[in-house]
Structure 1
Amino acid sequence: MLTYRNGGIFIITIREAQKDDAGQIAPLINIIFKEMELEELEDVPDPAVLKAITAAYQSEAYLSGAATTVVAEANGQVVGVAFGYPDENEQKVDQVLEDATSFSDVFADDPFGSDYEAFRNEWYLDSIVVDPKFQGMGIGGKLLEAIPELAEDDGKNVVGLNVDFENPGAKALYDRHEFKTVGIKKIGDHWYFHMQREVKQLELVRANN
């Protein structure tokens, strides 16, 4: 994918994440945690949060085990991340992040929350984020287009995700990719639309773009 921004030319590549990407992934994922306004993280310094996230995204479980992580790379820089897993792996995935906080007592017992986010029988897109400096370039859509193959590889026919009531821009992206709202969930102190799309329909959207 070739795109332009402020007179520069960027070659955007979507690929599976590697262990060495974790340091660039962490600040992007932290954008999501800040938007979630988790009470348990209010008093935790950013360096500690970033250290825990980095450790999680260096783990085999997050890269190609219980979950899969893909990144968008622009001229060698990670500018977007998508991360998800089959619903039955949610507890394993949550445990990895919880274990990654054990290095410090600044974290609460359950610092990232224990609310179950996935619906049954879906491949759950836990996180998708694009560097604010690279938004508006179609990167979020390209990350979404990588998801059907991951879901199929894990034997799932449906992709699900949660989008904050207070994030209409993200919901508009999912609407364009023909996700449908199938429920609502409260995660932390925020309410979210739970949206789903069949894998085959996602592939059709990708083919038509």
Structure 2
Amino acid sequence: METIIRKAKREDAEASVPLIMEAIGDISMQMTGETEESAITQEFIHLFTQTSNRHSFLNTYVAEMEGQVAGVLVFYTAEQAVTLDANLEKYLSAKSGTQVTIDKETLPGEWYIDTVVVDPTYRGHGIGTKLLNFAEQVVKNNGGGKLSLNVETEKEAAIRLYNRLGFENVCPWTIIGEPFYHMVKTVGP
């Protein structure tokens, strides 16, 4: 089965958002300002179709197999993250009536893999690796640099995959009070 990786479109929201939510877990509550799954899903779909936040379709790539969204990659630079998160903080603060702060997830100068996830139906076909390799190729095409991601400390299989692909654990990280590893791979031009 052939895998095609392409830039996401607004109409990919219905298929992509549940996968992103599965991958980021409780962080989805922080990103949406909602606590119930149906409300989180609806707000995430709204954010996905907008252009000014980290989970916008503009920062997302999908892997297609058999014409279906089989995997999702949300990917942007640390410099973009500053603006994207400021926009999201402003939106969520206005929505809630209180100041909302989004946890930083990347260091300056990095290309950041916010989310990489594969639909359970398509796991075991190397789609996650293809999405990670795609992100690496984007970095290479833009002159090289540091490619980073955060992974929950208990996700041992994911950590092994990232290590196999050349990512190194550079420091502990905390997102919504939970422990993560910040992993980085230096990519040449």
User: Are 2:126 and 1:138 equivalent residues in the alignment?
Assistant: yes
**TM-score normalised according to structure 1 size:** 0.76
Deviation (angstroms), 1:145: 0.9
| Corresponding position of 1:116 | 104
Deviation (angstroms), 1:47: 1.8
| Separation of aligned partners in 1, 2:40 and 2:79 | 26
| Separation of aligned partners in 1, 2:89 and 2:142 | 24
Deviations 1:156-202, CA, capped at 9 Å, x for gaps? 511011111011111111011011111111111311111111223xx
| Separation of aligned partners in 1, 2:9 and 2:64 | 12
CA shift in 2, pair 1:97/1:169, >3 Å: farther
Superposed, 1:1-209 pairs within 5 Å as 2=1, 11-34=2-25, 36=27, 44-61=35-52, 62-64=56-58, 68-98=59-89, 110=100, 114-152=102-140, 157-200=145-188
| Separation of aligned partners in 1, 2:177 and 2:21 | 17
Equivalent pairs, count: 186
**TM-score normalised according to structure 2 size:** 0.83
Deviation (angstroms), 1:33: 3.2
Deviation (angstroms), 1:38: 5.6
Residue segments in structure 2 that go unaligned for 5+ positions in a row: none
CA shift in 2, pair 1:38/1:58, >3 Å: closer
Q: Which amino acid aligns with 1:54?
A: I
Deviation (angstroms), 1:140: 0.3
Residue segments in structure 1 that go unaligned for 5+ positions in a row: 3-10, 204-209
- The farther-off stretch of 158-167 and 47-56 is 47-56
| Separation of aligned partners in 2, 1:24 and 1:72 | 11
Q: Percent identity?
A: 30
Deviation (angstroms), 1:104: 6.6
Asked if 1 retains the 8 angstrom alpha-carbon contact of 2:34 and 2:40, the reply is no
Q: CA RMSD in A?
A: 2.9
CA shift in 2, pair 1:55/1:98, >3 Å: farther
